[in-house]
Amino acid sequence: MDSQLTMYGALKVAASQNPRDLALYYEGKKLSFKTLMTKIDEMADILYHRLEIRKNDVVMIAQPNIPETIILFYALNKIGAVANLIHPFTPFNQVKAVIKKTKTKYAFMFEQRIAKEVERYREIANQIFVTRVEDHLPCVKKFIYHHFMNFRIRKKLGKMPPRFKFDGFNYLADLKPLKKEVPEAEADKNHYSVLLHSGSTTGKPKTICLSDFNFNYLASHTDVYMALDKEALRGHAMLSILPSFHGFGLCMTMHAPLVNGFSVVLIPKFSAKGVVETMKKVKITCVCGVPVIYEKLIQEPSFGKSKGLKDLRCCFCGGDSMPFGLEKRFNDLMAEKGSKCRLFQGYGLTEAIAVNTVNTFNAYKEGSIGKAIPGATIKIVDENRQEVKRGEIGEILIKSDAVMLGYYLDKEATDNCLVDGFLYTGDLGYMDEDGFVFFKARKKRVIKVSGYGVFPSEIEQLIESMPEVSACAAISIPDPVLQNAIKVLVVAKYFDEQGMKEKILQTCHKYLIRWSVPKEIEFRKQLPLTLLNKIDFKVLQEEDKKRGLV
């Protein structure tokens, strides 16, 4: 594919080559590439002529993985407007703040979000167009969902069919194209076309500006990730579980597959059983996910029995550190069931969209996050920004065409993390003699215990390797002698509390330096998660701090 095109342009080329191939699969509904392009062009007509959206206008998309998300995304890109993607369940106050900060013209939000705070959303109803999960469902499923499943919305509406709509709000499905020409925007590598929101490389919330060129660069190397010739990519199918507001989900499970002739199998809400059911109905060859997704798939008995495992070629894990042993357990299950599929770990961050290093069938080393993808350069530097020797730990730097244009309206933060073309990631790791990169920890998560730098991820991985443990989080607690000490919060599968504490401490004393051995161990039924299904260490740290003040 030509990385110099707009994202819409790249998709148009792919669709012209494979018009009848399956592009989207959604809960039984199938859209060919030709049909998808028709819907995108019709949506661009609506946006341009009815809503008067123009180049550089910012438009919010706050939706799950449904066809409207992809259709809107490419329609906006055709016009040259900026897609501003946020979590579909972002609270109203945050939505309003993002709209104000980014000067958003319109927001496309799905009905379940509106239903949660419908009276508050009336304040900005003139800027909102409502979408519904069921709009692209097959007829029977649509009827069932409308009349029997969406209890919360039906209760709030207090109405019977056929309306089922909130008064005072505009619904996207009611808008029809005027069948007029829409000018197609030209590609510009210095023009941002996507806004994503992240904790940034320093942990403070930022809005990240990304271009068509950033996305197309990563998509153009799909053959490398899959270890296939470019001609062999056509006909594969990507399971799209990861959300569109996350760079990993948007680029690697939506854009990259489509512009390479892949099918995209949309999953609006993840469940392991739901994935197994989908695998019965459509061939899936590739999956991208965060660790918790693979953990839940392994734990689901029907997944291991699925005949669809034979179709899987490769799975990729990113977005969070992979727990110790997860890769081996997943790969052992695949081998036991006769599948050639393997789970590979990669690395990236929203400031560089997604994957910038990855393991593949052709280049793999256990425990690593892989080698740099073609065209990317990885450096490891010390606190003085000097490159360190191979094997020495330092901050990971990335230089590639996936690196963002900058933070939205924040030149100071941009200048601090983009230096001489390199992105300072805020992550610590090292590179071995063969060029494989190994992730150690977030720089901001390193805990100084008696002046010694302790990596919480090492403690977590060790404790999670115990068969009795399903999850672990390590945090810092104050200590009168050491300044800081380690506390671990553990989710155990089965245990007697005192016996488990002793076993955890014995394991830690055996494998860790003494500064890394936990001073406190607390058992919990579950750990708090962020919107991206990562452990929310900030919440845990704040909870413990408040407890200490009581």
Does residue 109 lie in a domain region?
yes
Alpha-helical segments (H) within 253-308 = 256-259, 272-281, 291-299, 301-305
The CA-CA-CA angle for residues 78, 241, 137, to 5°, reads 70
pLDDT at 549: 46
Residue among 381, 361, 383, 386 nearest 371 (CA):
361
Instruction: Summarize pLDDT for 292-330 with one digit per residue, the tens.
Output: 899 899 999 999 999 999 999 999 999 877 877 899 999
Q: Name the domain boundary from 131, 159, 187.
A: 187
Span 355-406, pLDDT tens digits: 999 999 999 999 999 999 999 999 999 999 999 999 999 999 999 999 999 9
Instruction: Give the chain's mean pLDDT.
Output: 90
Is there a domain that residue 9 lies in? no
For residue 9, the surrounding DSSP H or E stretch is helix 7-17
Domain membership of residue 365 (yes or no) is: no
Residue 105 lies in a domain: yes
* Amino acid identity at 446: V
Select from 316, 309, 251 the least CA-distant residue to 283. Answer: 309
Joined together, the tokens standing for residue 420 give 């001489």
Question: Would you say residue 1 lies in a domain?
Answer: no
Residue 515 lies in a domain: yes
Q: At what angle do helices 67-79 and 33-45 cross, to 10 degrees?
A: 60
CATH number (domain holding residue 58): 3.40.50.980
For the chain, the distance separating the N- and C-terminal CA atoms, rounded to the nearest angstrom, is 60
Residue 373's CB is within 10 A of a number of other CB atoms, namely 22
Q: Which CATH number characterizes residue 494's domain?
A: 3.30.300.30
SS3 71: helix
The total number of structural domains in the chain stands at 2
Q: Last residue of a domain, which of 163, 187, 211?
A: 187
The answer to whether 523 and 492 have CB atoms below 8 angstroms apart is yes
Spell out the per-residue pLDDT of the chain, length 550, in tens: 677 899 999 999 999 999 999 999 999 999 999 999 999 999 999 999 999 999 999 999 999 999 999 999 999 999 999 999 998 888 898 899 999 999 999 999 988 888 888 889 999 999 999 998 877 777 767 666 665 566 566 565 655 544 568 888 999 999 999 999 999 999 999 999 999 998 545 556 789 999 999 999 999 999 999 999 988 899 899 999 999 998 999 999 999 999 999 999 999 989 999 999 999 999 999 999 988 899 899 999 999 999 999 999 999 999 877 877 899 999 999 999 999 999 999 999 999 999 999 999 999 999 999 999 999 999 999 999 999 999 999 999 999 999 999 999 999 999 999 999 999 999 999 999 999 999 988 787 888 887 777 889 889 989 999 989 989 999 999 988 788 899 999 999 876 788 899 999 999 998 888 889 999 999 999 999 887 678 888 899 988 887 754 3
- Domain end (from 168, 187, 206): 187
Apex 540 CA angle, 520 and 488, nearest 5:
25
pLDDT value, residue 158:
56
Residues 369, 355: Cα–Cα separation, whole Å: 10
Q: Is 50 within the bounds of a domain?
A: yes
Which pLDDT does position 485 carry in this prediction? 93
Range of the domain at 89: 33-187
Is residue 470 a part of any domain in this protein? Answer: yes
